[in-house]
């Protein structure tokens, strides 16, 4: 960051200007560390979510052909309890998100 800060003729002594630049470097380093930790947490979460989708993706592989798509449309329920349902489309979407087909939404 120090390379990108140009100290102009504001009357600051070199020692004061150096302290400001050092402060910016420390702040940039702290921000970079926070971003790195957040990126690692997101990568772990992504891996866990992908693992949780695998059984749905595997089952979807059994009804992703054209005939199954016609006989079992995406909006047809596979399982439900009250207003909460799982549809064939939910299974197909899990498969698509894991790269099992080109149909990811």
Dihedral sign, CA of 98, 96, 87, 67?
negative
For residue 60, give every residue at least 6 positions away whose Cβ sits within 8 Å of its Cβ, in sequence order, or none: 88, 91, 92, 94, 95, 100
Strand partners, 77: 87
Q: Residue 14 has what pLDDT?
A: 60
pLDDT tens series, the chain, 105 aa:
444 445 454 555 565 556 666 667 788 888 999 999 999 999 999 999 999 999 999 999 999 888 988 999 999 999 999 889 999 999 999 999 999 864 544
Q: Residue 91 has what pLDDT?
A: 95
Q: Residue 104 has what pLDDT?
A: 47
Three-state secondary-structure class, residue 23? helix
Q: How far apart are alpha carbons 89 and 70 in whole angstroms?
A: 12
Is the Cβ–Cβ distance between 72 and 63 less than 8 Å? Answer: yes
């Amino acid at each position: 960051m120090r390379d990108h800060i140009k100290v102009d003729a504001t009357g600051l002594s070199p020692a004061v200007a150096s302290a400001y630049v050092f402060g910016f470097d420390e702040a940039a380093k702290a921000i970079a560390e926070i971003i790195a930790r957040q990126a690692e947490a997101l990568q772990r979460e992504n891996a866990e979510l992908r693992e949780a989708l695998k059984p749905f993706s595997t089952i979807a592989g059994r009804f992703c052909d054209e005939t199954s798509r016609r006989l079992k449309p995406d909006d047809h329920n596979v399982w439900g309890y009250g207003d909460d349902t799982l549809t064939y489309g939910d299974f197909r979407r899990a498969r698509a998100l894991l790269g099992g087909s080109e149909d990811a939404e």
